[in-house]
């Protein structure tokens, strides 16, 4: 496959989010000169007529579909209808409009939660639809599975070179640190930061601490997105990860060390653990010539610096800060 034309109009859907923001930064650094973005206030991707008008007007040649309703285990388990409905509408609207106006290359970003709860580890791409999902995020997973199948259907029916990528757990600058909607790593970072500030004797972490998770820095994912757009053209989704994992207990200790918290860590076993292990097989991506570069501790340290800087910026503007 040929490299993408750096002057081609390229739409990054969801550029204000963790993933979309990283993709936008990377494309700029790689010399893309005609990047198109819209905030959710400017363009509600759940509104089909608005999406059609946007694609008719802008006519992008390349699309990265990073827009989604996302959240951690608490948000997913308490608001499943929103996660299913919003994500389905975003995907259907963008994918249909892209195909209709002739978008040349499109990358759909799914999630590793699409795989069965008890899939063989590490999880290969062909594990999709071979078993039951994790109940705490099954609505979100079903929506993302529908996106993968939609991409495959567009390829079969219209011969479009659209592809799907399935990233593992992500983190990095721009993450969501909200106590209700955050994923595990930024949630731990905020909790330990507040505990260090307040001198709390202990911090409670949900679950037993035994589940294992893989964590990919979002800047590595952004590199992978462009690599796939330029080097991959097949219907099967591609896993994007680092190929190694840590237990939640190990992650908690690492975050506490980076933050400087020296108190006790307690695990609340009454809270759900989620999937026991979720490690992706990334051999397909490695065969395409791509590997992750950012070590976990280095990435956490960078993310924590960003978090502290964002708090300081908010305080300077008179915005109440959590830590």
Q: Is 111 annotated as a binding residue?
A: yes
Q: Is 191 annotated as a binding residue?
A: yes
Q: Residue 154 contacts by C-beta under 8 Å, 6 or more apart in sequence?
A: 95, 99, 160, 162
Q: Is 169 annotated as a binding residue?
A: yes
Residue 36 CA to residue 34 CA, distance in Å, equals 6
Q: Is 314 annotated as a binding residue?
A: no
Q: Is 227 annotated as a binding residue?
A: no
Q: Is 71 annotated as a binding residue?
A: no
Q: Is 16 annotated as a binding residue?
A: yes
Count of other CB atoms within 10 angstroms of residue 10 = 25
Residue 117 CA to residue 102 CA, distance in Å, equals 37
- Of these residues, 11, 140, 171, 304, which one is catalytic? 140
Do the beta carbons of residue 6 and residue 31 sit within 8 Å? yes
Terminal C-alpha separation, the chain: 48
- Strand, coil or helix: 239: strand
Q: Which two tokens stand for residue 238?
A: 């591609």
Q: Is 105 annotated as a binding residue?
A: no
Q: Is 183 annotated as a binding residue?
A: yes
Give bridge partners of residue 106 from the DSSP assignment.
63, 162
Q: Residue 53 contacts by C-beta under 8 Å, 6 or more apart in sequence?
A: none
Residue 58 CA to residue 164 CA, distance in Å, equals 23
Dihedral sign, Cα of residue 145, residue 146, residue 148, residue 149? positive
Q: Is 273 annotated as a binding residue?
A: yes
Burial letters 243-275, b for 16+ CB under 10 A, else e:
bebeebbebbebbbebbebeeebebeeeebbbb
Q: Is 46 annotated as a binding residue?
A: no
Q: Which two tokens stand for residue 204?
A: 């409670």
Q: Is 261 a catalytic residue?
A: no
Q: Is 150 annotated as a binding residue?
A: no
Closest listed residue to residue 51, CA positions, set 15, 4, 93 = 93
Q: Is 170 annotated as a binding residue?
A: yes
Q: Is 135 annotated as a binding residue?
A: no
Q: Is 168 annotated as a binding residue?
A: yes
Q: Is 131 annotated as a binding residue?
A: no
Binding-site entries for NADP(+): 14-20, 109-112, 144, 167-170, 183
Q: Which residues are annotated as a binding site?
A: 14-20, 109-112, 144, 167-170, 183, 191, 206, 213, 273
Annotated binding site for substrate: which residue ranges?
Answer: 191, 206, 213, 273
- Annotated catalytic residues are 140
């Amino acid at each position: 496959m040929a490299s993408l034309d750096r002057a081609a109009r390229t739409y990054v859907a969801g550029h204000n989010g963790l993933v979309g923001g990283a993709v936008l930064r990377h494309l700029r650094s790689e010399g893309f000169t005609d990047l198109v973005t819209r905030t959710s206030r400017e363009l509600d991707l759940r509104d089909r007529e608005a999406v059609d008008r946007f694609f008719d007007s802008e006519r992008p040649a390349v699309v990265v579909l990073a827009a989604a309703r996302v959240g951690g285990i608490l948000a997913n388990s308490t608001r499943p209808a929103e996660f299913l409905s919003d994500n389905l509408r975003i995907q259907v609207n963008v994918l249909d409009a892209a195909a209709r106006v002739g978008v040349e290359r499109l990358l759909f970003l799914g999630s590793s939660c699409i795989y069965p709860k008890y899939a063989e580890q590490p999880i290969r791409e062909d594990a999709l639809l071979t078993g039951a999902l994790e109940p705490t995020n099954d609505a979100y997973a079903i929506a993302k599975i529908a996106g993968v199948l939609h991409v495959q259907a567009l390829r079969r029916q219209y011969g479009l070179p659209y592809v799907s990528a399935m990233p593992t757990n992500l983190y990095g600058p721009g993450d969501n640190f909200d106590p209700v909607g955050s994923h595990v790593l930024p949630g731990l970072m905020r909790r330990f930061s507040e505990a260090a500030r307040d001198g709390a004797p202990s911090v409670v972490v949900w679950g037993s601490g035994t589940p294992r998770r893989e964590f990919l820095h979002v800047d590595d994912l952004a590199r992978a997105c462009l690599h796939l757009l330029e080097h991959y053209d097949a219907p099967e989704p591609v896993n994007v990860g680092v190929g190694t994992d840590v237990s939640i207990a190990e992650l908690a200790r690492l975050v506490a060390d980076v933050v400087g918290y020296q108190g006790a860590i307690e695990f609340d076993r009454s809270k759900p653990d989620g999937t026991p292990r979720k490690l992706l097989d990334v051999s397909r991506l490695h065969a395409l010539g791509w590997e992750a570069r950012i070590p976990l501790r280095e990435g956490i340290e960078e993310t924590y610096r960003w978090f502290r800087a964002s708090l300081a910026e908010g305080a300077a503007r008179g915005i109440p800060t959590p830590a």
